[in-house]
Amino acid sequence: MRCLVVADLHYSLPQFDWLLAAAPEFDLVIFAGDALDIGSAVDFRAQIVVVKKYLSLLSGLTRVILCSGNHDLDERSAEGEKISRWIGEVRELGIACDGDSLVISDTLFTVCPWWDGPLVKSRLESQLGEAAAQRLRQWIWVHHAPPANSPTSWGGKRFFGDVELVQWIKDYQPSMVISGHVHESPFIPDGSWFDRLGTTWVFNTGLQHGRPPVCIVLDLDESTAYWLAAGEAQCIDLRAPLLRPAAPVQNPPPWLISLDRIADPSLARPASAAG
């Protein structure tokens, strides 16, 4: 199974266009939060309409998972906590979203909401406990914020991760946690797009503006993770211990070369020659 991971597109329509073009290469697209942009000049309600249209098209191409991020919160619950009501509505498109679990082959995916207060946090804790009883060979969480005190949450001056997530990872040891949220982490000293806590791999795509977005590809059959950014392509072996820095991609598989052509034709030429 090949999974394309994106996060923090923040209503960048060229990046959504790229995502539609790339999606047919993959068995699953994982969108780890912040589809919208609360700082945009575009009305929030209009952003929701447009993004839901993209998601509808995307769900017609492959399976899709979407969790909420802090930019996706559009309402307050009756208890006063910020929630993302519109993300719950994409379930009718066949998309697994906040609070859902999805089983594909021998992998259980758990989709976590952004929590803004004790009630949603409590529901998330219950969700993880219930999912733990159903875990399969691989258990992958989609959770917008990376764990605290990890290179994946390093912002250059301090960590911006979720402290509670660190404890949940210790308690349950999922196979992977897929995040975004901290845009700079993969690009700055002491930051990274990957980490390992115990037996759990942690990923953060990072953010670059323009087309295409930064993305991670998980090839679960080959136990390999690729990180693709502007002018960069790195990979790690998920069967090996944590080792930094990640290796450059030397002999990309044909489907990855195809993805590079979608992303940046100049990257595909040397990759094709090397293959």
Q: What is the pLDDT of residues 264-275, one digit of tens each?
A: 444 433 332 222
Q: What percent of the chain has pLDDT over 90?
A: 87
Tokens of 73: 């919160």
For residues 8 and 37, what is the distance between their CA atoms, to the nearest angstrom? 9
Closest CA to 238 of 193, 192, 199: 199
Which CATH number fits the domain that encloses residue 208? Answer: 3.60.21.10
Identify the DSSP state of 175: S
Q: Which domain holds residue 196?
A: 2-274
Least confident of 3-7, 54-58, 245-249: 245-249
Tokens of 9: 């597109």
Q: What is the 3-state secondary structure (H, E, C) of 243-270?
A: CCCCEECCCCCHHHHHHHHHHCHHHHHH
Name the average pLDDT for the chain. Answer: 92
143 Cβ neighbours under 8 A, 6+ residues apart:
32, 67, 112, 162, 165, 177, 178, 179
For residues 110 and 188, what is the distance between their CA atoms, to the nearest angstrom? 29
Q: Is the dihedral of CA 252, 255, 258, 262 positive or negative?
A: negative
Residue 256 Cα distances to 218, 250, 259, 266, 271, angstroms = 11, 12, 5, 14, 9
pLDDT (0 to 100) of residue 231: 81
Quote the number of domains for the chain: 1
Q: What is the pLDDT confidence band of residue 211, given thresholds at 50, 70 and 90?
A: confident
pTM, entire model:
0.93
What residue spans of the chain are helical by DSSP H? 13-22, 44-59, 85-89, 118-132, 163-172, 254-263, 265-274
For residues 98 and 117, what is the distance between their CA atoms, to the nearest angstrom? 15
pLDDT above 60: residue 137: yes
pLDDT above 80: residue 86: yes
Q: What is the pLDDT of residues 22-78, one digit of tens each?
A: 999 999 999 999 999 999 999 999 999 999 999 999 999 999 999 999 999 999 998
pLDDT (0 to 100) of residue 258: 72
**CA angle (182, 111, 148) in 5-degree steps:** 35
